[in-house]
Amino acid sequence: MPRNIDKYLLFCIVYMCAKCKFGLLGHPLGHSFSRQFHNDRFAKLGIDAVYENYDLDDIQQLPALLQSQSDLCGLNVTIPYKQDVMQFLDELDPLAQKIGAVNVVRVHSASMKKDVPATKIPGVYLKGYNSDIVGFTDSLKPMLKGTEKAALILGTGGASKAIKVALEDLGMKTLYVSRTAAEGRITYEDLTAEVMQEHLVIVNCTPLGMFPKVDACPAIP
């Protein structure tokens, strides 16, 4: 998936003359390898840019962050803000709008957008994209045998929105699994042998299993 994220980051860089700053927005970020990955990549390609982690415990801190970082050109967005960040965006890429979640944000100076009377955050114009769907689809396709008709999506956060669209584009029916029941989703207690047999693809979109608690896993049979 990083190669798809790079596509948007490098797109930003091409149009900037001065040194650019990029970063990862989320909470918590102690597990993330993104900062080292991108800084190593910038150094290898000879790109004058830097990548930082922005660990915010409240998404409402985003306006202050952006106004204090005038050289910030773009953000990746991870758990738990892929949906919450959308309230601050001035524009959505059509695919991100269809998915209902964002994991890449391009940061423009508001002065570059003469046709926009006012931005949601003074001084910056934000456009959101979603590269999760491309990375997931490209990763999953080689594993499919063609007999998979339905999939379980564990979790209902921002990542799950892109996964649902990707799976349906591949011709599969989808079913959300969550800790609480609601319309269009079942609970882990509902995962009978029959349900598991009907859903040959299972995608974990929960934080369970992330570093450092790599042995944690969803409660599936």
Q: How far is CA 129 from the centre of its chain?
A: 9
Contacts of 84 (CB under 8 A, 6+ apart): 59
Q: Which of 19, 82, 98, 113 is catalytic?
A: 82
Q: Cα separation of 221 and 218, whole Å?
A: 9
Measured distance CA(152)–CA(199) in Å, rounded: 6
- Indicate if 82 belongs to the active site: yes
Which amino acids are annotated catalytic? Answer: 82
